[in-house]
Amino acid sequence: MTVPWKSAEWNLVFRVLPRAHRGLAAAWWAFVAVRALLPGVLIIATGALIGAVSAGRPASWPLAIVAASSVLILVLSPIQNSLSANLGSFVGEDLHERLLRAAIQPAGIAHLEEPALANEFTLARDFDLGITAPPTRVCMPFVANGLVEAGSGLTAAAILFWFQWWAPLILVGGWLATHRLLRESAVWREWQSQDVAASQRHADYAYRMAVDVPAAKELRLFGLSGWTVSRFGTYRRRLLELSLEALRMRERSLIWAALAALVANGLVVGAVAVSALAHHVSLGSFVVFIGAVTGAAVLGIADFDWWFDTAARPAVVVASLERQMPAFAELASGTATAAGLPQREIRLRDVTFSYRGGSPVLSGVDLTIRAGSSLAIVGQNGAGKTTLAKLLCRLYDPTGGHIEVDGIDLRDLDLASWRSRLTTVFQDYIRYDLSLRDNVAPAGASDADVAWALRQAGAAGLTSDGTVLSKSYAGGTDLSGGQWQRVALARAMCAVRQGAGVVILDEPTAQLDVRGEAEIFRRLLDATSGVTTILVSHRFSTVRHADCICVLEGGRVVELGSHDELMADGGRYATMFTLQAARFSADAASGTGPAR
Ligand SMILES: Nc1ncnc2c1ncn2[C@@H]1O[C@H](COP(=O)(O)OP(=O)(O)OP(=O)(O)O)[C@@H](O)[C@H]1O
Ligand SMILES: [Mg+2]
């Protein structure tokens, strides 16, 4: 049932606020309580003042109370608004922190690729930016004022107990009925529907295309500026339509809401008037009771619900994501230490894998990688090479079969301990908005190790110390694609220097010029001698140097052997190698430059 006091809203005011800042939350509640009582005090004091004046009694006390409560009503409101905004900022910070923890908690990455969670992640990530809804710091003053209005309305109605016991019940009932009827518009349920969340996500995506640097080039060159703006407009309009639709539904209930309020107020005011005319209540009491009826009218304010709900929603979404994360904790860590592994081999036994809800990417892969040797994996786009690399890092578990390190199932190894044995350069490696040094050793390393790694990768002296490798920072700079790739390689080399025993390189030299590639690969082999190296590459000039080469096709290993063996076999590898070598010779002869 959609009632003003849903558990999400209670959760906000009683759990989320104190958790964000205990002291501010206590002060915030104190303000709400005092401000809720003040209008009642003013009504009673006004009645007392008029009663005293009309009876010729001294009126200084009631007058002082009227003056003090009037001033306090005016003064406390802006103070609480600032308090609310600050508290809202603390809530935002707390929720973002919880969201980060929840997103990072699973050892794998499947939760970030789950379409069912994508809307919730967008809502939870953006709630403080004001794209999907007003930020919490904007909502909180309205929530405070709403609670004050609800409290002062109830206080005012309670005063009517002095008139007739049934009067406050009728009045509160009438106003709450309007509330209930207005909320029946279901604007709040609409607001939380998948339709709304999806529209917000699409609008947000279009917005980011326009303001984020990576998309800026293509947007202009492919003439997508108009498309982006109209896409943003379309989805924002859809959001407005949804809220207008809800508003129209609300209009339909408006007549019933007005009727309920009119009848309740008519009954109470009528009864007060009749009693006054019959001299059953004094002038002072008459003023108090009529003031109380008027004061109770704030109970009918419906906007409050919207703000309350909007402020409460992010906490609900974050809590929902927190609850769902354990379902993605299928990558439970084992207990065996991976220190010094592999000594003998890494072995894939009949490994099968499919992404959630997808068809098999790998099926029945059997492969042995001798410790200290290098294995190159080749195959067409989409053959499953990167997927295999992800399985070796245990970002996913195989859906069938086993990966063993010296006979121990990867699932039985302590996950952190295994990952500390690995270093990787993925195809989509990260370009950290940090200095060159920190890009090479994000988790820290000695100056000597960093300098060595940079030299090995041919990336020494790319920038001065402390220059951030991003143009989004004052004094920052950016690198070319190939220079970035050298930095990523330096990161892997630095990790090897620090003791990593398995290196996984997914297209590590794709962006390097041919001379640079040959030079770096030679250094890489030097640096990783004795380290188990798995190299994914489309460049056969690089691949041929590996101890063993595996050709992956249709999710299976179709050829396995050294360069010479595979060339002698005359199979797929030999065909691909010959094709690339022929292309290279042709390009070199015609002077059109190197081929990949
Ligand atoms: N996160 C994912 N969720 C669902 N399917 C995926 C995901 N990542 C990859 N795939 C699918 O798995 C298959 C293998 O992808 P993978 O990235 O392993 O190929 P690859 O051999 O590395 O290709 P490339 O040479 O282009 O890098 C592809 O069909 C791809 O569409
Ligand atoms: Mg790949």
What's the pLDDT tens digit per position in 252-296? 667 787 888 899 999 999 999 999 999 898 989 999 999 999 999
Residue 526 is predicted with a pLDDT of: 81
List the single range of 92-106, 234-248, 362-376 with lowest mean pLDDT.
234-248
Residue 133 is predicted with a pLDDT of: 73
- Find the distance separating the first CA and the last CA of the chain, reported in whole Å: 64
Residue 5 is predicted with a pLDDT of: 46
pLDDT greater than 50 at residue 4: no
pLDDT greater than 50 at residue 211: yes
Q: 9-326: which CATH topology?
A: ABC transporter transmembrane region fold (1.20.1560)
Per the CB < 8 A criterion, the answer to whether 152 and 35 are in contact is yes
CA-nearest residue for atom 24, ligand 1, is 381
Q: 345-428+500-590: which CATH topology?
A: Rossmann fold (3.40.50)
Per-residue pLDDT reduced to its tens digit, 535-573: 999 888 889 889 999 999 989 999 999 999 999 999 999
Per the CB < 8 A criterion, the answer to whether 505 and 528 are in contact is no
- The atom number, within ligand 1, closest to the CA of 389 reads 18
Query: DSSP string of 175-194?
Result: HHHHHHHHHTT-HHHHHTSH
Residue 583 is predicted with a pLDDT of: 73
CA-nearest residue for atom 9, ligand 1, is 387
Residue 345 is predicted with a pLDDT of: 96
Provide mean pLDDT across the span 164-174: 93
Assign 9 a pLDDT band (cuts: 50, 70, 90): confident
Query: DSSP string of 227-251?
Result: HHHHHHHHHHHHHHHHHHHHHHHHH
Distance 391 CA to ligand 1 centre (A): 12
CA-nearest residue for atom 7, ligand 1, is 355
Mutation pick for ligand 1 pocket among 113, 328, 387 (CB with most ligand atoms within 8 Å): 387
Assign 78 a pLDDT band (cuts: 50, 70, 90): very high
pLDDT greater than 60 at residue 592: no
Ligand nearest to the CA of 379: 1
Distance 577 CA to ligand 1 centre (A): 23
Domain boundaries, the chain: 9-326, 345-428+500-590
Ligand nearest to the CA of 388: 1
Assign 390 a pLDDT band (cuts: 50, 70, 90): very high
Share of the chain above pLDDT 90, in %: 53
Torsion of CA 145, 148, 149, 152, to 10 degrees: -160
Residue 131 is predicted with a pLDDT of: 65
- The atom number, within ligand 1, closest to the CA of 113 reads 1
Q: How many Cα atoms sit within 13 Å of 104 on the Cβ side?
A: 6
Provide mean pLDDT across the span 227-242: 88
Per-residue pLDDT reduced to its tens digit, 340-356: 999 999 999 999 999 98
Residue 188 is predicted with a pLDDT of: 47
Ligand nearest to the CA of 362: 1
Which residues does ligand 1 sit against, CB inside 6 Å?
113, 355, 358, 361, 379, 381-387, 427
Per-residue pLDDT reduced to its tens digit, 432-461: 999 999 999 998 999 999 999 999 998 888
Per-residue pLDDT reduced to its tens digit, 466-520: 888 888 788 888 898 899 999 999 999 999 999 899 999 998 888 888 777 778 8
pLDDT greater than 50 at residue 52: yes
Per the CB < 8 A criterion, the answer to whether 85 and 10 are in contact is no
Provide mean pLDDT across the span 211-229: 84
d(Cα 189, Cα 19) in Å, to the nearest integer? 27
Per-residue pLDDT reduced to its tens digit, 118-134: 878 877 877 777 766 78
